Amino acid sequence: MNAARTHSPDTPAAKLAFQLYVAIGIAVFLLMMIAGAVFRAVQAAWLPIPASFGYELMTLHGAGMVGVSGLAGAAVMWYFLRRYVALSTGMFLAMLALSLVGVVMILAAIGIGRFAGGWTFLYPLPAKSMGTWGPHAAGAFVGGLVFIGVGFLLFYLDCALAIIRRYGSLAKGLGLDQLFGSGPLDTTLPPTVVASTMVVIINVLGILAGAVVLVMSLVSIYLPEVAFDALLMKNLIFFFGHVFINATIYMAVIGVYEIVPRYTGRPWTISRPFLASWAAVTLIVMAVYPHHLLMDYVMPKWMVVMGQVLSYLSGIPVLFVTVTGALVNIHRSGLKWDLPLRLLVFALFGWAAGVVPAVIDGVIRVNLVMHNTQWVPGHFHFYLLLGLVPMLLGAMLYACTRERWTETALDRAAFWTYGVAGAVFCFVFLAGGWLGVPRRFAVHDAPWLGFAQVGTLAAVLVLVTAVVLGVRLLARLPRVSLSA
């Protein structure tokens, strides 16, 4: 295992900051799961809720899940990166404070202003609601995203400065000097630093693009006579959104690099293929977003071709070196399985399997008929529900365990129920998409109801087991150690 040469001080404020992130993260994840399950029940015609309220729930669920995924991923990254570089607890708390301000604004926009435009705030929809919501509701939603973005930007800039002070540059933090150098590899460079540097690079650029389009959206809301190029707006929105949500799992996977070696007693050292993979995905993640714009015929052809080709490659480099590295590290190590480790390894399956329907959807002929079906929520729920969430839970459970986890029958039952019910939930989405069930519809026709009803039952099981795992985590939270 790579020992940290420098680290941030383990102060009571730092411990409290991490505890706040974990507690708030668990609470928000559960609330957003409830919102998602209710929306699925609305589609199943089991809850007599007006369709307009269903779209508000969909907007809340989408925005909330993206935001809390980013916060929880950042907490895992901060927890481990601070062992190698000097990070500011103040900046970490500032991100949380600004995010909470943004959350309040978004809740007010949806709950009071009835905003229901989806988390992507696609131009010019926020400003043209056909009377469903007013300009102040749209402004509060977009403004809330601005506050959240500023908080994340401060955090990533603090990480960037810390990496530069410790390693000399972001290029060295990413290991580019060693990747393209001819000398022997310095294996003391921690995988955590490499992954964190990649996240810093892509998310600083993504958030800056998001800031530009959010300000433009605010202008269009309050100065409707000012018109912007719709294609430019859409490119900025999807560049920002695609980069941000992808970065969540690249932050969470740091937990795999740090925790698996502590179970096996074997170091996880860098290699040139490892460095090449992280360097490649740094560029790919930022260039792949045009696969969301394949139906926009006015897009430059080279961008559409690039988006499709890179869709086939985007998940392979880092996923390959991470999964193979984990399997090699675990093989014949004699480790003892427990709940945190089970969650981390299961998450690698969710990540890998969730990439497959994304690659299929990236094929233009498939995308033409399936992108606006439930195939797409099937993909990203697979990726997030079975990949990101268990990865975050595993890392946080480990952080809150001073000694090896004592696994109970309830732990095993919750783990297997979560995995099986989560897989059923995702496969129902994929099956619905395969048969043409549209995405984002609050009201479903009779032939579609069966999919929504099975999905709702699976969602309830996922929610119950998530509550069990969340409570287990919160019970251990006072025992969190920043130096374990």
- pLDDT for the residue numbered 52: 87
The per-residue pLDDT for 2 is 46
- Cα 78 from chain centre: 15
CA–CA separation, 416 and 468 (whole Å): 12
With contact defined as beta carbons under 8 Å apart, do 353 and 382 qualify?
yes
8 A C-beta contact, residue 254 and residue 77: yes
Distance, in Å, from the CA atom of 55 to the CA atom of 132, rounded to the nearest integer, reads 11
pLDDT for the residue numbered 402? 59
- For the chain, give the number of residues: 484
Q: Within a 10 A sphere around the Cβ of 222, how many other Cβ atoms?
A: 12
Helix (H/G/I), strand (E/B), else coil: 223: coil
CA distance 40 to 58: 9
Whole-angstrom CA distances from 334 to 37, 265, 299, 428, 478 are 40, 10, 54, 37, 30
How would residue 90 be classed by pLDDT, with cut points 50, 70 and 90?
very high
Tell me what the pLDDT averaged over the chain comes to. Answer: 92
CATH number of 12-479: 1.20.210.10
Backbone angles phi, psi at 426, to 5 degrees: -70, -40
User: Measured between alpha carbons, how far apart are the two ends of the chain, in Å?
Assistant: 13
Return the structure tokens found at 242. 């695609």
Could you tell me the sign of the dihedral formed by the alpha carbons of 309, 311, 317, 320, in that order? Answer: negative
Exposure class string for 426-449: b at 16+ Cβ within 10 A, else e: bbbbbbbbeeebebebbebeeebe
* Residue 228: both structure tokens together: 């912007």
Cα–Cα distance, 223 to 218 (Å, whole number): 8
Cα four-point dihedral sign 428, 433, 439, 443: negative
Residue with tokens 């949806």: 110
DSSP H helical ranges for 314-403: 316-330, 339-361, 364-370, 375-383, 389-399
Q: Would you say 176 and 182 are in contact if contact means Cβ atoms under 8 Å apart?
A: no
228 has a pLDDT exceeding 90:
yes
Average pLDDT, stretch 170-178? 96
Residue 429: in which H helix or E strand, if any? helix 409-434
Q: What would the pLDDT profile of 278-319 be if each residue is shown by its tens digit?
A: 999 999 999 988 888 888 889 998 998 888 888 877 777 888
Inter-residue contact 432 to 450 (CB < 8 Å): no
Percentage of residues in the chain having pLDDT higher than 90: 74
Three-state DSSP at 461 gives helix
Pair 119, 69: CB distance under 8 Å: no
Which pLDDT tens digit goes with each residue over 179-203? 998 788 888 999 999 999 999 999 9
Cα 199 to Cα 152: distance, rounded to the nearest angstrom: 12
Please say if the pLDDT value at position 1 is more than 50: no
Question: DSSP letter at 168?
Answer: S
Name the band, by pLDDT with cuts 50, 70 and 90, for residue 131.
confident
Per-residue model confidence as pLDDT tens digits over 387-415 = 999 999 999 999 988 566 777 899 999 99
pLDDT at 333: 87
Half-sphere exposure for 35 (CA within 13 Å, toward CB): 22
d(CA 191, CA 81): 10
Highest mean pLDDT among 51-55, 145-149, 369-373, 471-475: 145-149
CA atoms 270, 272, 273, 276: torsion sign: positive
Is residue 3's pLDDT more than 80?
no
Name the residue ranges covered by the structural domains of the chain.
Answer: 12-479
Q: Identify the residue whose tokens are 């809390």.
A: 68
pTM of the prediction? 0.94
The amino acid occupying position 446 is A
Read off the pLDDT of residues 95-129 as tens digits, 9 standing for 90 and up: 999 999 999 999 999 999 999 998 888 888 888 88
Q: How far apart are CA 91 and CA 94, in angstroms?
A: 5
